[in-house]
Amino acid sequence: MREQNKKIALRFQNVNFYYKNGAGKIPILKNMNLSVADGEFVSIIGASGSGKSTIFRLIVGLEELNSGTIYLNEDPVTNRSGKVGYMPQQDLLMPWRTVQQNAALPLELQKENHLDRRTVQNLLEAFGLKGYENKYPHELSGGMRQRVSFLRATLSGSNVLLLDEPFSALDAMTRLYMQEWLLEQWEQQQSTILFITHDISEALFLSDRIFVITDTPFTTLKEIKIPLERPRRQYDLDKEEVTELKNDLLDQFRMRV
């Protein structure tokens, strides 16, 4: 595991959030605290409906917290002001735009059109997309579409990237390849990644730490440090200490099914 900078890239301080329905309030986060260091890769795992995606929606401003504060790079996030790179489960590429045009969308929204061609062209080759600049999404494989989506998130300009189950729709072999590719990009960019997944093996392979949601509402998340050095390959998951950790996590979730 690479040494972490002491700077905190993302922090939740006493955050409360609940949904309202006809019967009243449904609490999801209760005085929750967590922090993610600059340059760290942290995954969140939990059952469906446990509140994983709610955390992302609060960070980007799609939901409004009821109390508490969220900090990005130690600056408080006001409603809808959080600047992060966000990669959803579905790539959400615009079918009428080319690869280059889809990737450049954040620059257009930031009114930095003068950077589009130079910046995107420099990154296309690094992302394995050189020669596909003028292709449309329907002409790409699932893995390539996800690369475009990740490039678009990177071009947000933020050091914090939120990845919400980005590989869940891919076939097994492509998914394994994309996991290794993602780690290579993360190492090069030195970004901070918060990653949602239902796949325990994926979380173990990618992460420095895992936050586990076991109950809702939650105040703190169970934290697991991954006993693997970097760089990693898929066969590292066969190590005894990792296998034991995976089995422990599986048992925890099996008891709650």
Whether the predicted pLDDT of 254 surpasses 60:
yes
Q: Mean pLDDT, to the nearest integer, of 238-251? A: 91
Phi-psi region of 207 (alpha: psi -120 to 50; beta: other; left: phi over 0): beta
Q: Which CATH architecture has domain 8-84+159-254?
A: 3-Layer(aba) Sandwich (3.40)
Q: How many residues appear in the chain?
A: 257
Q: What is the pLDDT of residue 117?
A: 65
Q: What single string gives the DSSP state of each residue in 220-255?
A: S-EEEE----SS--GGGGGSHHHHHHHHHHHHHHHT
Residue 5: per-residue pLDDT: 52
pLDDT of residue 114: 52
Closest CA to 201 of 242, 167, 147, 156: 242
For 78-108, the three-class secondary structure string (H helix, E strand, C coil) is CCCCCCCEEECCCCCCCCCCCHHHHHCHHHH
Which pair of structure tokens corresponds to residue 204?
């173990």
DSSP letter assigned to residue 156: T
CATH 3.40.50.300 location in the chain = 8-84+159-254
Encode pLDDT of 154-209 as tens digits: 888 889 999 999 998 889 999 999 999 999 999 988 899 999 998 999 999 999 99
Task: Read off the amino acid at residue 190.
Answer: Q
Q: CA gyration radius for the chain? A: 19
Q: Which amino acid is it at 66?
A: N
What is the structure's pLDDT at 113?
53
pTM for the predicted model, two decimal places: 0.89
How would you class 181 by CB atoms within 10 Å of its CB: exposed for 0-12, middle for 13-18, buried for 19 or more?
middle
